[in-house]
Structure 1
C-alpha cells in the first residue's frame, strides 16, 4: 500500500510539474491594424502590401491604406507574411503528456464500442506541448480519442484557453471508427495463423456493423417515440443518422477504404477517410464518390517493397490531380503536429501546388470540421485567428512566427523549448 501511495503521488507531481505557465490571451480590447503585409488569404489569393483590420475578434477590413481607427494598435508587417491560423487534424494534443508516464495518457477508454467518449472532456489546456505547437503557427487542433472499433467523438479546440469550454470551436463534430484490418499481418510479432487472422478480421467487421445496426434501430425508435430507456452509446451516434454529424473512418489499406466507402454509401453517411495511406491507389474512386480525405502520412515510409521511396510525399499531388477533396494532417500526433506546415511544404516540393498546400492546412481542415464560415482564411467577417511570420510559413528556414491572434486575442508564443534555449544561452 505504501508503494502504491508513493507511485500515485509521484505521478500526480509529474503531471503538475508539466503544466505550462503561459497565460491565455485576453479578449481583444482595441482595434488592431496590420499594415503593409503580404496577405495569404487562401480564398482570394496572395495580396501584396495590404492592410488588415480586426476589431472585437473579427476581421473588419482588408485593403490598401486603410484608415486607422481611433485608439487602434498599429503593427507594421511590411516585408512579413500574414496567414490564417493553421488547423491540425487528427491529433491527441492535450490527451497525453509523456508516453513513458501512464498517468499522463488519457487518450482512450476501455472497450471496443465507446462512441459516447468525447475527446475534449479529457483535454488538458495546461499541457507543456501545446505552446510548442502554437509556436509553429497552429491555432486550432482536432482532439481525437483513440480506441478499438468505435473510439468516440472529436472536437475542434483553439490552442489557447483556460479550459476546453474557453477553447471550444466545435464540439462533438463526428464519430471516429477504426476500420478492421482487411489483410494479413506479416510482422514478426504476429503469432496468429493466417486463418486465425481472417477469422478475427471478419468478426471485428461483423461486430462493427452490428453496432451500427443497433444504433440505427435506437435512432428509429427514438424518432417514433418508442424508446424504453436511454443508451449513451447510441445517443452519441444519433447525429450520423440525422445528417448532422460526420463519420470519420481511420484506414490505410486500399481494401479497408473500399469497404468503408461501400458501408458509408449504404448507410448514407457523410464520410471522411483519415490516414488514408493508400488513397492514391483509389484516387479516381474517391473523387467520384465525393469523399473527403484527411491524408495523414506526409512523411510515411513505403508500405510495400515495390513502392517508390517518395510515395508518401507525392501522394498529395496525386490526390489533387485526381480532384480529391483533401486536407493534410500529421496522423494521430501530439508533439509532432508542430511540423504540419513543413509537411505541406514538403508536399509542394513533390508536386503539389503551393496554394493548394496552404489550403490543405487551413480552409480544408476548417471545412472538414464544419467551421469554414469562421476560420481557415483571411476574409472580412471571419474570426481574427491569424499568424504573422517573418518568412514562408511552410519553409523550415523561413518560418518565424512573430505574432499569433486567436479571435483577436494575442497569444503568448513563449514555450518550454524557448525558455530552455534562453537559459542555456547564459551558460559560460
Structure 2
C-alpha cells in the first residue's frame, strides 16, 4: 500500500474514533424527512442538530449562528440504519480464526451465558467504514453458538468510533436442527437443558452439583434475564420450535426476540399476542433445511399484517454483507410489506427491540443525530447514501474499498500502481 493510501486510511480511522465533542451543529433544510415515527414522512422539512442531538423537526426552521446548513433540495433524510445481527468489530476475515472473536468453544463446560463478545469489539475495524457507506449507523453484535447452543451475550454498537455498547446486553441462543449436534443430536434435549439451566439459575440445583451445567457467573447472568433484565435473541426457524419457545418464555416470564424465523408467519398471531419481535431474513425463499420448509418472501408482510414487530437480519456472512440490509427491506416491501414499515424495520423496530429506542432509530427531538441523506429511495439499492452523520458528526464517505477503487481506476503512471503515491 502506498504512503498516501496509508495516510488516507489513518485519517479515516482517526475521524471514526473522534470524540462526541466533535459533534457538528447543522441544519438539514428542505428534505423529505422519513422520521420512522407516527409522524411518517414530512416533505420540505428541516432538521436542526445541536450538540450531536436532534433539537427540532419542522418547516422554516432558522439556522442559529455557527450552524452549518445543508441544502437537501427535497432528497430523502432517514435515521441511520440498522446493520442486522453481525460480527462487525469482532470479525475481520471469517476464514482467519485469529480475527474472529464471536464464538466460545470450551470442551469441559460449553454453556457459558456470561460470555460477552462486546469486550472484544474493535471500533477501528475496517468493516465499519464499509457498512457506514450504506447508511448503517448501528448493529447488534451477536455471540455465535459454535461451542454451545447458548452462545453468550452481545450488545448494540454505534458505528461512530465508540468502544462500548449503548444499551443493555442480549443473550443469544440457537434452537432447532442446526443446534442439535450441540445438544445430543436432538432438539428435544434443548428444552431439557434449558429447564436445568433455569433450575440452576433459580437456585434449585446446588452450585457444587457434579451435573451442573453453569458456572456461578453463568447462573448470575441467566438469573438477570429470567428477571426481565435483558432480552433473549433466539435463532430459530421451524414453527413448531417457535411455538415451544413461546410457551417456555411465557412460563418463565422471559423477554425474547426471534432471529431468522423462516416459518414465523405460521405462528404470527401467537407472536403478535406475545409482543415478540422477529428479525427476518427477507431473502429467504427456498428451504435451506427441513426447518425452513415454509420459507416465503412474504414472511415479513404476513407477520406485519398480524401485528408482529418486524426487523431484518441475514444469515449469509452478515458482517461483510451488511450493505444487503437495504435489499432485505426492499424485497420485503416488494412482497407486500408497506414502505414505511420496511424503513421502520431498519430503524425504529430494531432499536426498540434491543432497548436503545430512546437513543437511535428515529428522527425526533432528543434523539442522537444519527442521520443519512440519500440520493434517492433508501430501500432501492440503485440509490446511495450521500452523507452519514452520527451524533451530528459528518462521517467520511470513504472506506478501504473506495480507496482501492480509486487507486486502481486511476490512469497508470510510470510505475506499477503498487508504488503509486
Shorter-chain TM-score range: 0.7 to 0.9
Q: Distance in 2 between matches of 1:183 and 1:146?
A: 11
Structure 1 residues 306 and 426: alpha-carbon distance in aligned structure 2, compared to 1, 3 A threshold: same
1:181 aligns with 2:177: yes
Instruction: Give the drift of 1:336.
Output: 0.9
Q: Distance in 2 between matches of 1:321 and 1:214?
A: 39
1:76 aligns with 2:103: no
Structure 1 residues 307 and 144: alpha-carbon distance in aligned structure 2, compared to 1, 3 A threshold: closer
Could you say what the CA RMSD is over the residues aligned between the two structures, in angstroms?
Answer: 2.9
Instruction: Give the drift of 1:239.
Output: 2.0
Instruction: Decide which of 242, 246, 257 is 1:261's aligned counterpart.
Output: 246
Aligned to 1:409: 393
Instruction: Give the drift of 1:20.
Output: 9.1
Residue 28 of structure 1 contacts residue 55 of structure 1 at CA under 8 Å; is this kept in 2?
no
Aligned to 2:32: 38
1:122 aligns with 2:113: no
Q: Distance in 2 between matches of 1:327 and 1:261?
A: 18
Aligned to 1:246: 231
Residue 316 of structure 1 contacts residue 347 of structure 1 at CA under 8 Å; is this kept in 2?
yes
Instruction: Give the drift of 1:290.
Output: 2.3
Q: Distance in 2 between matches of 1:407 and 1:305?
A: 42
Matches within 5 A, 1:93-104: 93-104=88-99
Aligned to 2:198: 212
Q: Describe the SS at the equivalent of 2:151.
A: strand
Aligned to 2:302: 318
Instruction: Give the drift of 1:114.
Output: 1.3
Instruction: Give the drift of 1:238.
Output: 2.8
Structure 1 residues 198 and 303: alpha-carbon distance in aligned structure 2, compared to 1, 3 A threshold: farther
Instruction: Give the drift of 1:325.
Output: 1.8
Alignment TM-score, normalising by the size of structure 2: 0.85
Matches within 5 A, 1:284-303: 284-295=269-280, 297-303=281-287
1:92-128 deviation line (CA, Å, top 9, x unaligned):
1122111221211111112331111112111122221
Residue 115 of structure 2 contacts residue 153 of structure 2 at CA under 8 Å; is this kept in 1?
yes
Matches within 5 A, 1:328-367: 328-331=312-315, 333-367=318-352
Aligned to 2:6: none
1:202 aligns with 2:188: yes
Instruction: Give the drift of 1:183.
Output: 11
Q: Distance in 2 between matches of 1:299 and 1:34?
A: 34
Instruction: Decide which of 66, 85, 89 is 2:80's aligned counterpart.
Output: 85
Aligned to 1:424: 408
Aligned to 1:383: 368
Q: Distance in 2 between matches of 1:207 and 1:183?
A: 12
Q: Distance in 1 between matches of 2:95 and 2:174?
A: 24
Residue 84 of structure 1 contacts residue 376 of structure 1 at CA under 8 Å; is this kept in 2?
yes
Aligned to 2:163: 164
Residue 33 of structure 1 contacts residue 74 of structure 1 at CA under 8 Å; is this kept in 2?
yes
Aligned to 2:419: none
Structure 1 residues 125 and 287: alpha-carbon distance in aligned structure 2, compared to 1, 3 A threshold: same
Residue 27 of structure 2 contacts residue 47 of structure 2 at CA under 8 Å; is this kept in 1?
yes
Instruction: Give the drift of 1:309.
Output: 11
Instruction: Give the drift of 1:414.
Output: 0.9
Q: Distance in 2 between matches of 1:308 and 1:366?
A: 27
Unaligned runs of 5+ in 2: 1-8, 208-214, 413-421
Q: Describe the SS at the equivalent of 2:202.
A: helix
Q: Distance in 2 between matches of 1:340 and 1:325?
A: 17
